[in-house]
């Protein structure tokens, strides 16, 4: 009796099947982009909302600056038909106080707006920071122009004629140090970035190849 000539079947090799085996349910597909954040369009929309809301708050800053800033006293004098206006106290520091009041108020508004933006969206993002800085700058400009408009008239000669010779009257509300306009955006961005770095969500650490995913303990 002779042995069969047919060779035995080769052993089953499951390596190919293991390579092309479908991933378990819920696992990300290889090469598929992972979802990370709300998306650029949503972030841009949120940045625009932050910019508008922050800029509108400039009206409140202008109102507070007008009410809290010290008055610079002026006095008018008449010589014939000519009026001359001069400072009542040439060594006074009221003009410095006007700039200082605006700067302190702007820093406070910057801290509050940075905190509000962080509490509204903790993930942060470049569009949100840009919108916050732009809105704060626009709010500072609005506050400056509104405070000047609400303050005394800029026509000091007419004001001196109206109150009379030798009568003290307040000077127009002016912002001598234009760099104070940057106080609000600087404080807002600094506070927001600081809070995001300290209390913002952390990105998961990348896993090494072949490392099993970490699962929370039951």
What's the Cα-to-Cα distance from 3 to each of 6, 7, 10, 74, rounded to whole Å? 9, 10, 18, 125
Cα(121)–Cα(132) distance, rounded to whole angstroms? 12
Judged by average pLDDT, the poorest of 22-26, 129-133, 156-160, 165-169 is 22-26
The answer on pLDDT for 120 being more than 80 is yes
What percentage of the chain has pLDDT greater than the value 90?
42
On the 0-12 / 13-18 / 19+ scale of CB atoms within 10 A, 130 is middle
Cα(20)–Cα(85) distance, rounded to whole angstroms? 90
Q: What is the mean pLDDT of the chain?
A: 80
The answer on pLDDT for 190 being more than 50 is yes
The pLDDT of residue 33 = 44
The answer on pLDDT for 87 being more than 90 is no
The pLDDT of residue 178 = 92
Buried b vs exposed e over 41-62: b needs ≥16 C-beta within 10 Å? eebbebbbebbebbbebbeebb
Highest mean predicted confidence (pLDDT) among 9-18, 19-28, 183-192: 183-192
The answer on pLDDT for 107 being more than 70 is yes
Which residues, in sequence order, are bridge partners of residue 76?
85
What number is the average pLDDT over the span 71-97?
83
What's the Cα-to-Cα distance from 53 to each of 140, 147, 165, rounded to whole Å? 13, 19, 46
Judged by average pLDDT, the poorest of 11-25, 48-62, 64-78, 105-119 is 11-25
CA angle 10–15–19, rounded 5-degree value: 150
The pLDDT of residue 78 = 81
The pLDDT of residue 34 = 43
């Amino acid at each position: 009796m002779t042995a069969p000539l047919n060779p035995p079947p080769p052993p089953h090799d499951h390596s190919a099947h293991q390579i092309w085996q479908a991933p378990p349910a819920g696992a990300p597909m290889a090469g598929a982009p992972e979802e990370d954040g709300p998306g650029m369009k949503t972030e841009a929309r949120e940045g625009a909302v932050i910019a508008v809301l922050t800029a509108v708050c400039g009206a409140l800053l202008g109102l507070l600056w007008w009410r809290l800033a010290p008055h610079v006293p002026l006095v008018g004098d008449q010589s014939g038909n000519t009026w001359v206006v001069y400072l009542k106290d040439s060594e006074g520091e009221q003009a410095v106080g006007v700039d200082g009041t605006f700067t302190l108020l702007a820093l406070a508004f910057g801290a509050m707006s940075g905190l509000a933006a962080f509490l509204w969206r903790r993930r942060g993002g470049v569009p949100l920071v840009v919108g916050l800085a732009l809105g704060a700058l626009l709010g500072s400009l609005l506050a400056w122009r509104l405070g000047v408009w609400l303050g005394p008239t800029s026509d000091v000669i007419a004001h001196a004629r109206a109150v009379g010779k030798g009568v003290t009257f307040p000077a127009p509300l002016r912002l001598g140090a234009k760099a104070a306009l940057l106080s609000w955006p600087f404080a807002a961005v600094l506070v927001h970035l600081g809070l995001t770095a300290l209390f913002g969500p952390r990105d998961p650490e990348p896993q090494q190849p072949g490392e099993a995913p970490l699962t929370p303990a039951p």
